[in-house]
Amino acid sequence: MSTQILDTPSASARARSASGSALLALITRLHFYVGLFVGPFILVAAVTGTLFVLTPQIENLIYADQIRTASTGPARPLADQVEAAQRRIGPGPRLFAVRPAPGPGETTRVMFTQAGMGDSESRALFVDPVTLQIQGDMIVYGTSGTLPFRTTLDYLHRNLMLGEVGRNYSELAASWLWLATLGGVVLWFAKRGRDRASAARSPRLRARRWHGLLGLWVGIGLLFLSATGLTWSNWAGARVDQLRAQLGWITPSVSMKLPGAAGAGMPAPGEHADHHGGHHDHAAMAPAAADIPAGFDRVVQAARQGGIDSNQLEIRPPRAADQAWLVREVDRSWPTQVDTIAVDPTTYAITSRADFDTFPLIAKLIRWGVDMHMGILFGWPNQLLMAAIGIALTTMIILGYRMWWLRRPAAGATSQTLTQAWAELSWPGRIAAAAVAVALGWCLPVMGVSLLVFLVVDVVRWRAARPAANVA
């Protein structure tokens, strides 16, 4: 009798097993829904993101005539280069910033703002620093100075060229990617080894095996892309900004207000200027700032004396009489080359600075994360890493759809719905799952709305299946 008692599972063990099976069924159904309905959006984001990180060198070839020059000899003063650009562009556009030629054989970018441009966009004239010839005139974008070819890829990746409405697509992808990744890892460990022997004979099981293995290999990278992508998003990004403000994780910036002047100064562009920051505020531009190009050379000299040593600089003249010049390093391939200073337009003394070395750790991690997501941190190794993750994700999605196609239900057949899987949980499990869903829906609003859509689809499927079930 004692042996029979030992061999018979206890009621608590059976309950734990049933609870685990129900939870696994819920994860499986949710993972399927995300793959089926959100998968196309993640696929577009993966393909466009991969193209973006792989094309800086291609862009340099396309626009070689604009960004490079064969002229040799001493460079003319920066003031002369600015005046040459102003003469060419005329009185309408306003001078916004100047990026001096990083080295011999390269052109200077003199950047202007004008009506009709989007956030972080400027009209750049490319000036030969030796001959003062204008070698190009085009729209550039963001802190990285992206040119039109990659700007198009960036907009495709960000919003499908649909403006603010289109940003919901990329937020939807980023909102679910991390959960799909974690769910996939759980399912792989729960089902590992079951179908290994038969995978060679089954195309579906073979696809599932490679789908799972790729997810394991690049899982950390997918979580990273999801997290950094959400910081750029519209709705979830606002939640992230609120959290950072409450926890004191704000990236330091310089004060553009001159000592003794009233009013708030302009903060330096943030780490997301390439995607949704960097408003130019055309109306606030001081007209006099466009008329004093001679100040650029003095400001560069003051910046060099103040420790700004990168060969990639952006210099912005004052926007108002009570504000300073802004000088910032824009070389994102090396994380220390992002210092920013403010310079008094009268004395050319540094009035404020934000050095990367003094940033809090969280601010540094955010800066590194943003640059790594864009594939510009440490140059081509970062490009290859991000491209490998993007290609792996693309392959996983294709394999996922192949798995579905090979096992798609026959006409009239039904399968378990998401709500049915949830109903099989214990009461504490149901309450916990509902609470997690509500919390995630508040933190990630696009996820919350799409989850409601999943539930509506579930209800429709359940109602459609009821007559067939009753007849059976």
Q: Give the model's pLDDT for residue 12.
A: 62
Rounded-to-integer distance, Cα 397 and Cα 391, Å: 10
Residue that the structure tokens 């539930």 belong to: 455
Rounded Cα distance between 293 and 240, Å, is: 39
Alpha-carbon span 467 to 453, nearest angstrom: 23
Q: Which residues of the chain have pLDDT under 70?
A: 1-18, 193-201, 261-291, 409-414, 465-472
Q: Please list the residues that pair with 327 across neighbouring strands.
A: 315, 341
Cα angle at 337 between 335 and 338, to 5 degrees?
Answer: 90
H or E element in which residue 68 lies: none
Q: How confident is the model at residue 411, as a pLDDT?
A: 55
Q: What is the pLDDT of residue 284?
A: 42
Look at residue 193 and give its three-state secondary structure: coil
* Tens digit of each residue's pLDDT (9 = 90 or more) over 115-146: 989 889 999 999 999 999 999 999 999 888 99
CA end-to-end span of the chain: 42
Whole-number pLDDT of residue 466: 63
Q: 218 vs 42, 164, 291, 385, CA distance in Å?
A: 15, 30, 53, 10
- Which pLDDT value is given to residue 458? 84
Contact 52, 157 (CB under 8 A): yes
pLDDT of residue 422: 92
Q: List, for residues 213-266, the tens digit of each pLDDT value.
A: 999 999 999 999 999 999 989 999 999 999 888 888 889 999 999 987 655 444
Q: What is the pLDDT of residue 20?
A: 79
User: What element of type H or E holds 17?
Assistant: helix 11-33
Q: Give the start-to-end residue ranges of the domains of the chain.
A: 25-54+161-238+381-465, 64-146+252-358
Cβ burial of 433 (10 Å; 0-12, 13-18, 19+) is: middle
> Six-digit token pair at 426?
């214990």
Q: In what order do the strands lie in the sheet with 325-329?
A: 134-141, 121-127, 108-113, 94-99, 313-316, 325-329, 340-343, 350-354
pTM, two decimal places: 0.88
Cα(297)–Cα(303) distance, integer angstroms: 10
- Spatial neighbors of 99 by CB under 8 A, at least 6 apart, are 108, 109, 111, 145, 312, 313, 314, 315, 330
CA distances 340 to 14, 97, 350, 422, Å, are 63, 14, 10, 52
Q: What distance lies between CA 451 and its chain's CA centroid?
A: 23
Q: Which pLDDT score is estimated for 78? A: 97
